[in-house]
Amino acid sequence: MRYKVAPEPADEDLLFGTHEALPLVPGSVEDCCTRVRDRTPVPSRENAREWITFLQALGLAAETDRGFYRVRDPPDRATLRENFLNHVFGTREMYDALRTADDPLSPGAVFEQIREIVPRWERDREPAWETEWQDRIETLLAWGVVVGVFAEQDGAYTVSESAASE
């Protein structure tokens, strides 16, 4: 499964701090969102829900029929990168675009390379879909830097050396 939800970019401390805020014993969505909101700088329940979904995509949280819980042993860096590429919608395509580019790409250039992956229904429902997706690309590039998939310099992106060597 590939998730589309990604919270606003943050640093690794908040990523793992949010992971630690989740319970080890499965809890309801409401309970988990409250814990994330109360134990981290995440400001609202809606934002907490985005974080939980993103943590699930990265393999840092899991869901049962009783609710969400923190994965006791978080994935290593290589698996975190792999989860990001395999479970967050658009990241694999971004990786391929950056890997095959001759030079680092701006977020706008990355968007142009992958714009065809935007589902037709999203294009039809939102007149400003391009702006929305350009923002999404910027968010995912920033997260890619945090998890070690992408590298950024002067506003342009490449595949990180650690991700390229795998």
Euclidean distance between CA atoms 94 and 140, whole angstroms? 9
Q: Indicate if the pLDDT at residue 126 is higher than 90.
A: no
Euclidean distance between CA atoms 67 and 35, whole angstroms? 13
pLDDT class for 150, splitting at 50, 70, 90?
Answer: very high
User: Which amino acid belongs to residue 143?
Assistant: W
Q: Indicate if the pLDDT at residue 165 is higher than 90.
A: no
**Domains of the chain (ranges plus CATH)?**
12-70 (no CATH), 77-164 (1.10.10)
Euclidean distance between CA atoms 89 and 118, whole angstroms? 10
pTM above 0.85, yes or no: yes
Q: What is the pLDDT of residues 28-67, one digit of tens each?
A: 999 999 999 999 999 999 999 999 999 999 999 999 999 9
Q: Indicate if the pLDDT at residue 164 is higher than 90.
A: no
